[in-house]
Amino acid sequence: MKYSIKQISLKIFLAAFSASLFSFAQLGFAITPEEIMEKNFIVNKVTDSTSQTTMILTNKAGKERVRKTFGTTKLQKGTFDNMRMTRFLEPTDVKGMVSLLIEHSKDEDDIWLYLPSLKKVRRLVSSNKKDSFVGTDFSYGDVIGHKVKEWNHTILKEEEVDGFMCYVIESTPINKTISRNTGYSKRVSWIQKDTFVARKAMMYDEAGSLYKEMQFLNLELVEPEKNKWYAREFRARNVQTGHSTVIKVDELKVNVGVKDSYFTTRYMESQ
Amino acid sequence: MPTNSSANFKRLLVNGAAFFLLAFFVASGWAQNADIPPEPSDEPSLFPEDFPADGEEINNKWHSSLNEMGLTGSLRSGFWSSNRLSDNNNSIGVGSLWLKYDQRFSGGLSAFVEGYAENQGFIDSDYDVSRIKESYVHLRKGDWDIRAGKQIIAWGRTDRLNPTDNLTPRDFTLLSPEIDEDRFGVNAIKASKVFGMYSSLTVAWIPEFEHHTTADIKLADFSFSKTKTNDSQYAIKFDQSGGDIDWSFSYMSGRDLGYDLAITGSSGGTVLVNQNYNKVETFGADLATIVGSNRYAIEMAYTRTEDNAGTNFLIKNPFLFTVVGIEHDFGNNLSAIVQGFHNHVMNYQDPRNISDSTERFVYSLSATGNGQLEQDSFGLSGRVGKKWMNETLEGELAGSMLFTGHGYSVRPKLTYAISDSLKATAGYEFYGGASDTVLGARRKNKAFFSEIRYFF
């Protein structure tokens, strides 16, 4: 039996359409997991901000170390790519250290670091997102946000967290490079259904074992007209080492008119 | 004396400029506090003073009031099995107090002072020193940055080996586990104009020359002395930091931070040798970029001297010094840097061919110290860094090797943060190879070191 090209194309289209209808009908979701993660990726991307944070690092024995930082962010024009500057205030041995990160959604990010002891700004390799962010249990990738297109996403189920209904999304890296660069073989995120803010997350290491648990607390609507939310407290625990981190946003201001020129190496050198 | 008057006048100019900036803006700050309307500005502060934390106070310490005044510092206690003076002193205890004052005022003005007082105790003697490393005021206004006072000006993008970094001196005798602490400021006025987001033009005037601090040369039948010069230095740099590639071009006219040896005569059987810091002009360039997991950097400088023909052994020849490096990030807080370097001496003449034995010895010694014993010198330097336990423990293995003459150095170091306030460091400095190489000549300086720092 022979089919014309038109007939074959029509059959393929109908088969694909039926399959997609079936899968959505079966799971009962009117939104794709990619859309959820895209909305989650931008939900905390405010126009600009200044903030002061306290990071409390606690080891397995309960011994604490504290870092205080002052940070600014600003979205690059017409994008959801942030520029972030973080100035370390405490403890004394890191005081004056400044990092500048310019995100590029279609390319590698740019990172510079100013070390007061060197009196110089130095450009850093940015492809590696798995290293600890200044000794915390958050990686650079966790802080910047994992690019949605670099992961395959699946809705596992819906579940309540702290009284809020959430989508439970499983994300796996699209290739081994992403897994190697982020240090994760899988991420599971609990995304609040109505706001798309993350409530908690679990990360699995490259070998597939549970690695970190994260919580995002005291969520605040900071730009109501744009549905922008910000967690005032971030918690992460490395279940393999017992080390944990709490990041408290002590002070946060959004839409304060931060200028582009502040995100330059010149400002990093201002002591 | 005219020379001293000239130096004092130049010093007065730099300090006067610093004082003027400070006085003017402190006064303007007081004026603002006195309810006089401030200058209109739509710029939010990028510093935290305007954003006091209202959250829970954590780990409140006795020194927080000092920190609020802009004062921080550290108390240090260390042990070195040898000093860096190439002598036979060993088992040295080092105690020091380091203080740093860092304060911002209104109107974009800030002040910075850092200094230390140190006691080095030998078995049979001890030695005290106190020094100001930097003390300057900085004004940031619009597209301009102006800094006046004693300041460190550090240029270059390669790692630790910087051909373009020739404005402010280092103290190679300082006993510190942190190599970069050997930088010291000079009285200077530096102004930068920013163009757009990433480019800037910097001009620096250093009215009073200060050379590197090196170990005194002690040789039987020789007497070495240093000539102090008060010449001004000028430098200019165009820099681009941002976009895909960071780069700069620079020019410096001034004095060489390292010395040339010159025989000046003899007295009672002793040969008199002067350590001269001769005039140089340096044209430099650097570049750094990231490709994948690698950082590539190149830095080169051509230095013209007063002996461009290369016929005078009392003055080093012009030379082209190039450093090319690659840094790879392996992840898991492990990174490594490997750099190759090359020094080419123009119009080279071998000092080992001088017929007079005294001259041959002195000028070969001078050429060894300046890396000019051979026309072309090649070498490698490298550094591997690793952090463990959420950056509580940090390890570093640094080293360098000269292919010409086979000198080498190795420096392993471990630092453990006992708490936020207390850090312990231990390491070893090893020098080896032929004694007529820069590194081999330092064999007497090989040392085990350890230090505890209390930060406040």
Partners of residue B222 on adjacent β-strands: B271
The structure tokens 């992403």 sit at: A178
Query: A138-189 pLDDT, tens per residue?
Result: 999 999 899 999 999 999 999 999 999 999 999 999 999 999 999 999 999 9
Can you tell me the distance from the alpha carbon of B150 to that of B183, in angstroms, rounded to the nearest whole number?
Answer: 12
Can you tell me the distance from the alpha carbon of B279 to that of B209, in angstroms, rounded to the nearest whole number?
Answer: 11
Contact flag B294-A96 (C-beta cutoff 8 Å): no
Classify residue B195: in a domain, yes or no: yes
Residue B31: pLDDT above 60? no
Query: A67-106 pLDDT, tens per residue?
Result: 999 999 999 999 999 999 999 999 999 999 999 999 998 8
Q: What pLDDT band is residue B19 in, cutting at 50, 70 and 90?
A: low
Chain B residue numbers with beta carbons less than 8 Å from the beta carbon of A271 are 102, 110, 112, 138
Residue B36: pLDDT above 80? no
A33-268: CATH, from 3.40.605.10, 1.10.150.80, 1.20.59.10, 2.50.20.10 = 2.50.20.10
- Chain A, window 106-125: residues with a beta carbon less than 8 angstroms from a chain B beta carbon: 108, 110, 112, 117-125
Classify residue B16: in a domain, yes or no: yes
CB A240 within 8 Å of CB A57: no
Residue B389: pLDDT above 50? yes
Chain B residue numbers with beta carbons less than 8 Å from the beta carbon of A86 are none
Residue B187: pLDDT above 50? yes
Nearest-neighbour CA in chain B from A129: distance (Å):
8
Nearest-neighbour CA in chain B from A265: distance (Å):
6
Q: Residue B153: what are its φ and ψ, rounded to 5°?
A: -115, 105
pLDDT at B440: 79
Intra-chain end-to-end CA distance of chain A, in Å: 80
Q: Report CA torsion sign: B44, B45, B49, B54.
A: positive
A29 touches chain B (CB under 8 A): no
CB A145 within 8 Å of CB A151: no
Can you tell me the distance from the alpha carbon of A187 to that of A204, in angstroms, rounded to the nearest whole number?
Answer: 6
The total domain count for chain B is 1
- Chain A, window 49-108: residues with a beta carbon less than 8 angstroms from a chain B beta carbon: 50-52, 54, 56-57, 59, 63-66, 68, 70, 72, 85, 87, 89-93, 95-96, 102, 108
Contact flag B329-A125 (C-beta cutoff 8 Å): yes
Q: What pLDDT band is residue B5 in, cutting at 50, 70 and 90?
A: low
Q: Residue B136's domain is classified under what CATH number?
A: 2.40.160.10
Query: B89-121 pLDDT, tens per residue?
Result: 788 999 999 999 999 888 889 999 999 999 988
The structure tokens 């070495």 sit at: B224
Q: What pLDDT band is residue B404 in, cutting at 50, 70 and 90?
A: confident
Length of chain A: 271
* CA atoms in the 13 A half-sphere facing the CB of B254: 27
Supply the DSSP string of B61-122, one letter for each residue.
-TTHHHHHTTEEEEEEEEEEEE-SSSSS-EEEEEEEEEEEEEEE-GGGEEEEEEEEEEEEE-
Residue A227: pLDDT above 50? yes
Classify residue B295: in a domain, yes or no: yes
pLDDT at B106: 83
A3 or B422: which leads in pLDDT: B422
Can you tell me the distance from the alpha carbon of A265 to that of A121, in angstroms, rounded to the nearest whole number?
Answer: 7
Count of A-B CB contacts under 8 Å? 170
Strand-pair category, B376-388 with B126-141: unpaired
Q: What pLDDT band is residue B30 in, cutting at 50, 70 and 90?
A: very low
Chain A residue numbers with beta carbons less than 8 Å from the beta carbon of B454 are none
Can you tell me the distance from the alpha carbon of B156 to that of B192, in angstroms, rounded to the nearest whole number?
Answer: 16
Other beta carbons less than 10 A from residue B286's beta carbon: 25
CA distances B330 to A67, A113, B293, Å, are 26, 18, 8
pTM (predicted TM-score): 0.86
Can you tell me the distance from the alpha carbon of B308 to that of B280, in angstroms, rounded to the nearest whole number?
Answer: 10
Can you tell me the distance from the alpha carbon of A46 to that of A258, in angstroms, rounded to the nearest whole number?
Answer: 12
Q: What pLDDT band is residue B27 in, cutting at 50, 70 and 90?
A: low
Can you tell me the distance from the alpha carbon of A137 to that of B59, in angstroms, rounded to the nearest whole number?
Answer: 20
Residue boundaries of the structural domains of chain A? 33-268
Shortest CA distance from B193: residue in chain A: A266
A66, A127, A137 member nearest B293 (Cβ): A127
Alpha helix ranges (H) inside chain A: 5-27, 33-42, 140-144, 176-182, 265-268
Query: B269-325 pLDDT, tens per residue?
Result: 999 999 999 999 999 999 999 998 899 999 999 999 999 998 999 999 999 999 999
Q: Give me the mean pLDDT over the B343-348 stretch.
A: 97
**Domain carrying residue B138:** 2-35+62-455
A54, A91, A256 member nearest B420 (Cβ): A91
Chain B residue numbers with beta carbons less than 8 Å from the beta carbon of A264 are 194, 197-198, 241-242
Quote the distance between the C-alpha of residue B211 and its chain's center.
11
A220 touches chain B (CB under 8 A): no
pLDDT at B443: 83
B290 touches chain A (CB under 8 A): yes
| Backbone dihedral region for residue A31 (phi beyond 0: left; psi -120 to 50: alpha; all else: beta) | beta
3-state secondary structure of B7: helix
Query: A7-30 pLDDT, tens per residue?
Result: 655 555 555 444 444 444 445 668
Classify residue B416: in a domain, yes or no: yes
Contact flag B420-A65 (C-beta cutoff 8 Å): yes
